[in-house]
């Protein structure tokens, strides 16, 4: 039977000792899970190793840890695959999740971070008006859509590796915002506007996400939290016209209008426009703050005064405005949600297209 | 090889040295650049945030323009373009109905996108099309003892599946391998795959600059001479904003950040001035010795 080395990060905060690494050898078939490896260590070598687990079938969400630096469920990660991806001489490196305080070894305090944030988004249905006589009827497509967020098992893997939360611990974060979409996308909920307004106005809300995609890769259930955050922004800004005090929606619209005008991004306009225009009271302190950056750019010939004032590509993009008007002029936005539709392309059609 | 070349916006805007360096490096690698000068911004994920159809239409338009050239494939020099375009392409290629709808938007200009454009970032093209052995054979001035930290950023490495990263194409290791092929030393540091913070610079400036400042500081602590990035937007936060990032994290950093074509150009024997290295806020010229081999200051 093959032997695997588990390199486990040990830490007991109240001991006063610094965290340290400890190697354990386990003999198990490669298709057995990292969790089984840890439990074998616990059962046969050192009962004090701390790990939280329950179902062992990737549904309870208890055993998320970092394996070789990436957040994963220990119960659905094969030992052989983990060893293949080792960056440490074949040793499987197991650490607690990030962004949450460690209680003991691989156990983090989910209450202190994850559950607080979930509570923050009012994670229950707030229907309006009298309930229907019988059941609520929800269109199939809406229901399939929100099942993506409902698939969350609250394991915290996305929270662990959220790069915004790393620098701003108050960020509501991927799991809770995906949960927020579950209600914003549910036609039975009557508080969509209020929910969105709240999440857009919060300085650590939907506009605090940096588009890093870590949560999409981290999620073992395909929830794609970042995609849900982008949909919250789209619905808040474009459907409900919520102008937040974080300049989130203004920045998006400044960007879109910038491209409609210029074809290529004209950075010199984007910054003031994101704050409401060069002469807006909100823009002035920001622009003053950015002045040294602009001066440095000019000094290093990154930007010439001419380029800052005139966009060199403007004339090449006359046709674009018509295209923008056509798409933006639709009564309803057209969106392809691959979670609902899947990759449905007809191979014969694709083949036909490939012919010149 | 001939490629339909998409430089993106920022390489012709606030990081003009990137576009310039690519133009200088291309002939040394026998790459003929057919520049897509009518193509528009990829949307950087921001337009999709407002209206997905609009972003998909803009990128379908760029792909259609690329397909009109006789380039073997399409090449970009911006990670953010790569990521945003891959996202749109995923939707466009998934459904012929949707593609027909989007092509309807392009009809006025006589353009049409046919499924399956191949769009590769320069880093991917170097490893997968040109090959590292070939690249190695063209090195004139090896980056001897230059300690380079790869800064991948986000858009070119995540989501893994959409970007075609697997054991056959370990694209999340390409910068490492390119640095080695050029004779440099790879520095491992905590920030290599993290976010530079640029996307939230107007919404949460402090968090944004803290991200840039931390990754730069990690690179300093790991003893890197410079960083290299395939993303001009990362470059804006890491270089142009570095003095502000220093203020936020409360330490001096002084870490030069090179664009990928600049690093290539140095090793291929080009003059640092030609590559626009003097145009950076943190001038690499002050820490690197440009003799026959490119040597980091500490080692020089």
Domains of chain A as residue ranges with CATH: 3-108 (3.10.20.30), 111-239 (1.10.1060.10), 248-339 (no CATH)
For residue A344, the model assigns a pLDDT of: 74
For residue B299, the model assigns a pLDDT of: 47
**A351 to chain B: nearest residue by CA?**
B115
Q: How many Cα neighbours within 13 Å face the side chain of A255?
A: 22
Q: Record the pTM.
A: 0.95
Which of A301, A327, A336 is opposite residue B57, by nearest beta carbon? A327
- Considering only CB atoms, which chain A residues are within 8 Å of B13? 264-267, 303, 307
Position B166 pLDDT exceeds 90: yes
Per-residue pLDDT reduced to its tens digit, B175-226: 999 999 999 999 999 999 999 999 999 999 999 999 999 999 999 999 999 9
Mean pLDDT per 10-residue interval, chain A, length 356 residues: 96 97 98 98 98 98 98 98 93 98 98 98 95 92 96 98 98 98 97 98 97 98 98 96 94 94 88 82 79 82 72 67 94 92 72 59
| CATH architecture for the domain at B2-122 | Up-down Bundle (1.20)
Q: So where are chain B's domains?
A: 2-122, 132-296
Please say whether the dihedral angle defined by the alpha carbons of residues B234, B236, B240 and B246, taken in this order, is positive or negative. negative
Asked if A265's CB is within 8 angstroms of B10's CB, the reply is: yes
Which of A252, A286, A302 is opposite residue B15, by nearest beta carbon? A302
Asked if A252's CB is within 8 angstroms of B54's CB, the reply is: no
Interface A–B counts its CB contacts (< 8 A) at: 210
- Considering only CB atoms, which chain A residues are within 8 Å of B211? 163, 166-167, 210
Per-residue pLDDT reduced to its tens digit, B133-158: 999 999 999 999 899 999 999 999 99
pLDDT band with cut points at 50, 70 and 90 for residue B300: very low
Per-residue pLDDT reduced to its tens digit, A74-127: 999 999 999 999 988 999 999 999 999 999 999 999 999 999 999 999 999 999
Contact B77, B29 (CB under 8 A): no
Distances A193 to A70, A150, A233, B39 between C-alpha atoms, Å: 36, 21, 12, 37
- Phi, psi (rounded to 5 degrees) for A10: -100, 140
Which of B7, B9, B196 is the best mutation test for A, with the most CBs of A within 10 A? B9
**B96 to chain A: nearest residue by CA?**
A345
Asked if B204's CB is within 8 angstroms of A333's CB, the reply is: no
Which of A164, A171, A237 is opposite residue B50, by nearest beta carbon? A237
How is domain B132-296 classified at the CATH fold level?
Rossmann fold (3.40.50)
Contact A296, A343 (CB under 8 A): no
For residue B179, the model assigns a pLDDT of: 98
For residue A67, the model assigns a pLDDT of: 98
Give the per-residue SS3 of chain B: CEEEEECCCHHHCCCHHHHHHHHHHHHHHCCEEEECCCCCCCCCCHHHHHCHHHHHHHHHHHHHHHHHCCCCEEEECCHHHHHHHHHHHHHHHHCHHHHHHHHHHHHHHCCCCCCCCCEEEHHHHHHHHHCHHHHHHCCCCCCCCCEEEECCCCCCCCCCCCCCCCCCCCHHHHHHHHHHHCCCEECCCCCCCCCCCHHHCCCCHHHHHHHHHHHHHHHHHCCCCEEEECCHHHHHHHHHCHHHHHHHHCCCCCCCEEEHHHHHHHHCCCCCCCCCHHHCCCCHHHCEEECCCEEECCCC
Q: Cβ contacts of residue A193 below 8 Å, gap of 6+?
A: A240, A242
For residue A347, the model assigns a pLDDT of: 62
């Amino acid at each position: 039977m093959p032997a695997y080395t588990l390199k486990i990060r040990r830490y007991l905060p109240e001991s006063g000792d610094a965290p340290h690494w400890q190697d354990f050898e386990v003999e198990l078939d490669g298709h057995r899970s990292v969790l089984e490896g840890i439990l074998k260590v616990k059962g046969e070598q050192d009962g004090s190793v701390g790990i939280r687990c329950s179902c062992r079938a990737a549904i309870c969400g208890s055993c998320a840890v970092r394996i070789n630096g990436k957040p994963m469920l220990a119960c659905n990660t094969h030992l052989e695959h983990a060893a293949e991806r080792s960056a440490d001489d074949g040793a499987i490196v197991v650490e607690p999740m990030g962004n949450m305080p460690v209680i003991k070894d691989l156990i983090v305090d989910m209450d202190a971070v994850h559950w607080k944030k979930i509570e923050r988004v009012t994670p229950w249905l707030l229907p309006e008006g009298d309930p229907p006589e019988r059941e609520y009827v929800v269109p199939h497509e809406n229901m399939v859509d929100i099942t993506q967020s409902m698939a969350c098992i609250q394991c915290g893997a996305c929270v662990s590796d959220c790069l915004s939360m790393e620098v701003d611990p108050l960020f509501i974060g991927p799991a809770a915002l995906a949960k927020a979409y579950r209600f914003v996308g549910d036609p039975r909920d009557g508080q969509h506007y209020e929910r969105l307004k709240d999440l857009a106005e919060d300085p650590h809300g939907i506009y605090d996400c940096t588009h890093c995609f870590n949560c999409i890769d981290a999620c073992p259930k395909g929830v794609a939290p970042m995609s849900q955050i982008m949909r919250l922004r789209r619905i808040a800004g474009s459907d409900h016209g919520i102008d937040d005090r974080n300049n989130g929606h203004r920045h998006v619209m400044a960007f879109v209008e910038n491209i409609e005008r210029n074809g290529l991004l004209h950075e010199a306009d984007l910054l003031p426009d994101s704050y409401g225009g060069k002469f807006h009271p909100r823009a002035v302190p920001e622009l003053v703050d950015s002045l040294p950056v602009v001066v440095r750019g000019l000094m290093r010939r990154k930007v010439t005064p001419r380029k800052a004032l005139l966009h060199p590509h403007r004339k090449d993009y006359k046709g674009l405005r018509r295209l923008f008007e056509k798409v933006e002029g639709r009564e309803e936005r057209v969106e392809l949600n691959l979670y609902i539709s899947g990759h449905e392309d007809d191979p014969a059609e694709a083949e036909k297209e490939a012919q010149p | 090889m001939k490629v339909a070349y998409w430089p993106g916006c920022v390489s012709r805007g606030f990081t003009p040295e990137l576009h310039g360096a690519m133009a200088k490096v291309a002939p040394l690698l026998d790459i003929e650049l057919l520049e897509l000068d009518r193509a528009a911004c990829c949307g950087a994920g921001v337009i999709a945030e407002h209206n997905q159809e609009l972003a998909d239409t803009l990128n379908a338009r760029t792909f259609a323009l690329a397909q009109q050239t006789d380039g073997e494939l399409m090449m970009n020099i911006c990670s953010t373009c790569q990521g945003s375009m891959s996202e749109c392409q995923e939707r466009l290629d998934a459904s012929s109905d949707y593609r027909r709808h989007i092509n309807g938007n392009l009809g006025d200009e006589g353009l049409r996108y046919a499924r399956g454009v191949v769009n590769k970032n320069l880093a991917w093209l170097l490893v997968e099309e040109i090959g590292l052995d070939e690249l190695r054979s063209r090195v004139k001035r090896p980056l001897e003892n230059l300690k380079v930290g790869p800064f991948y950023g986000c858009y070119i490495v995540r989501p893994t599946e959409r970007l075609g990263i697997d054991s056959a194409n370990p694209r999340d290791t390409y910068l490492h391998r390119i640095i080695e092929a050029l004779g440099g030393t790879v520095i491992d540091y905590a920030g290599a795959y993290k976010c530079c913070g640029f996307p939230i610079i107007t919404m949460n400036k402090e968090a944004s600059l803290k991200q840039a400042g931390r990754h730069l500081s990690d690179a300093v602590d790991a003893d890197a001479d410079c960083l290299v990035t395939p993303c001009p937007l990362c470059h804006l936060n890491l270089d142009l904003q570095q003095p502000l990032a220093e203020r936020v994290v409360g330490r001096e950093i002084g870490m030069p950040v090179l664009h990928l074509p600049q690093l290539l150009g140095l090793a291929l024997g080009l003059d640092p001035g030609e590559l626009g290295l003097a145009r950076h806020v943190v001038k690499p010229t002050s820490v690197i010795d440009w003799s026959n081999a490119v040597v980091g200051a500490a080692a020089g």
